Amino acid sequence: MQPLAINEQRLQRQIDELALITEAEPPVVMRVIFSEADMRGRAFVKNLCREAGLVLREDAVGNIFARWEGSDKNLPPVASGSHIDAIPNAGKYDGVVGVLGVIEAIRALQQAGFQPKRSIELIIFTSEEPTRFGIGCLGSRLFSGVLPVAKAAALKDRDGKTLDEWRKIGGCKGDLSSVLLPKDCYAAFVELHIEQGPILEAENIDIGVVEKIAAPSTLRVGLTGVGGHAGATLMPGRRDALLAGAEIALAVERAATTTGSPDTVGTTGVFRIEPGAVNSVPCRAWLEIDLRDTLVKTRDGALEKIERAVPEICKRRGVEFQMERVNVDAPAICDAALVQTVVEVCGELKLPVKKMISRAYHDTLFMAQVCPTTMIFIPCFKGYSHRPDEYSSPEQIKNGVTVLAHTLAKLAE
């Protein structure tokens, strides 16, 4: 095979163009699953797949598959991919590098005359971000069987619109039960992603290869207090839902900072109140709490601490609560042989490489239930992510795509 020519200008142009397909004001990116912008983003990427000669299909929850047919169609394909949906106030690289980068890697392999024996399949997962339904990795959870169909079918967004209603808007066909794939459907899955952390940049290393993905969990708490006139309702006896929520958010911080593990992270990322009028005592509050650690035991200990604090705070404040574990996931252990393949490719390309833990979750977390997996990380500016100043340079992206292309070639030959 001739040396690979990754067309970084073309790839950068595509990243920039996709970033303009957003629900927000550029440079802010936001593409919530099945929104009008997400549908335009999907169409944009599907078009690039067609231009690269890939065979497209979509499943009943909107996962998109773009396949480069190999010479031996009986062999399980090698897969790579990520997501293009984006949370509010996002940047333009999270997920996108691992989707557009695969198309670029395939085009470079095609141009170098490589002919895969195993098919190489790009997967663009539905709703990796939890924005719409409060649970992340919806597409890969269903795909891997981690999320039961009945639980998925019951998902609603904050206005009560169901997953089925959104699937109709997204043009999805078929029953959710058809999303589940047989265990040996892929030979391997490798996801290219920005690190979303500061380590590679700080240590001046070009490539990270992921050995383990931290264990995420989400807790949802609904609070019902008693509203009233801000002027006429005296302080004694108030049952202020916001203040109960505020104490719970502080309990999350306390639980995360007292485990003794530097890897425990707790965030009350969503905190909504009603009625939201300056002169009205908040009668309702909703919290969505994100709690993670690389060790399940530590994460679970912190989660249980929060679950004990909620009733105690609410009892003291006379506020009623509902509490629900939305997801409590195990960490993923990546495949050692696959990790070694990436290390070898980096050696051949003379790119410094570091074995790492991913603190962010990814679809790879669930693909690990389906087949051997690993991830290829590239540095990002100060580790920033989930903010508009998220940035990786064309050079850093090119390095990641080159390593991915050579890795896919090794796995597909």
- By CB under 6 A, name the binding residues for ligand HGY: 128-129, 136, 360-361
| C-alpha to C-alpha distance for 110 and 397, rounded to whole angstroms | 19
Q: Is the CB of 240 or the CB of 390 nearer to ligand HGY?
A: 390
> For residues 2-29, b (16+ Cβ closer than 10 Å) or e, as one string?
eebebebeebbebbeebbebbeeeeebb
Q: Determine the 3-state secondary structure of 135 from DSSP.
A: coil
Q: Which does 77 bind (CB under 5 to 8 A by kind): Mn ion, ligand HGY, none?
A: none
Q: Which does 361 bind (CB under 5 to 8 A by kind): Mn ion, ligand HGY, none?
A: ligand HGY
User: Least distance to Mn ion from the beta carbon of 142, Å?
Assistant: 18
| C-alpha to C-alpha distance for 337 and 310, rounded to whole angstroms | 44
Pairing, β 78-82 against β 188-194: parallel
Q: Among the residues of 112-236, which ranges form H helices?
A: 138-144, 149-153, 163-169, 199-202
User: Least distance to Mn ion from the beta carbon of 148, Å?
Assistant: 24
User: Least distance to Mn ion from the beta carbon of 83, Å?
Assistant: 6
DSSP string, 153-188: HT-B-TT--BHHHHHHHTT--S-GGGG---GGG-SE
Q: Are 197 and 381 in contact (CB under 8 A)?
A: no
Is residue 216 a contact residue for Mn ion (CB under 5 A)? no
Q: Is the CB of 136 or the CB of 388 nearer to ligand HGY?
A: 136
User: Least distance to Mn ion from the beta carbon of 95, Å?
Assistant: 4
Name 80's bridge partners. Answer: 122, 190
Is residue 240 a contact residue for Mn ion (CB under 5 A)? no
User: Least distance to Mn ion from the beta carbon of 153, Å?
Assistant: 25
Q: Determine the 3-state secondary structure of 78 from DSSP.
A: strand
| C-alpha to C-alpha distance for 185 and 193, rounded to whole angstroms | 23
Is residue 130 a contact residue for Mn ion (CB under 5 A)? no
Q: Is the CB of 217 or the CB of 402 nearer to ligand HGY?
A: 217
User: Least distance to ligand HGY from the beta carbon of 193, Å?
Assistant: 9
Q: Indicate the length of the chain as a whole number.
A: 413
Residue of this chain nearest to Mn ion (CB atom) = 95
Is residue 95 a contact residue for Mn ion (CB under 5 A)? yes
Cβ atoms < 10 Å from Cβ of 111:
13
| C-alpha to C-alpha distance for 94 and 369, rounded to whole angstroms | 23
| C-alpha to C-alpha distance for 363 and 135, rounded to whole angstroms | 12
Residues touching Mn ion, count (CB under 5 A): 2
Contact stretch for Mn ion (CB under 5 A) within 55-63, 86-94, 151-159, 167-175: 86-94
Is residue 247 a contact residue for Mn ion (CB under 5 A)? no
Q: Which does 136 bind (CB under 5 to 8 A by kind): ligand HGY, Mn ion, none?
A: ligand HGY
Q: Is the CB of 114 or the CB of 361 nearer to ligand HGY?
A: 361
| C-alpha to C-alpha distance for 297 and 159, rounded to whole angstroms | 35
Residue selected from 38, 94, 288, 293 as contacting Mn ion according to rule CB under 5 A = 94
CA diameter of the chain: 79
User: Least distance to ligand HGY from the beta carbon of 340, Å?
Assistant: 25
Q: Is the CB of 38 or the CB of 128 nearer to ligand HGY?
A: 128
Contact stretch for Mn ion (CB under 5 A) within 93-101, 228-236, 262-270, 286-294: 93-101
Q: Is the CB of 255 or the CB of 368 nearer to Mn ion?
A: 368
Chain positions contacting Mn ion, by CB under 5 A:
94-95
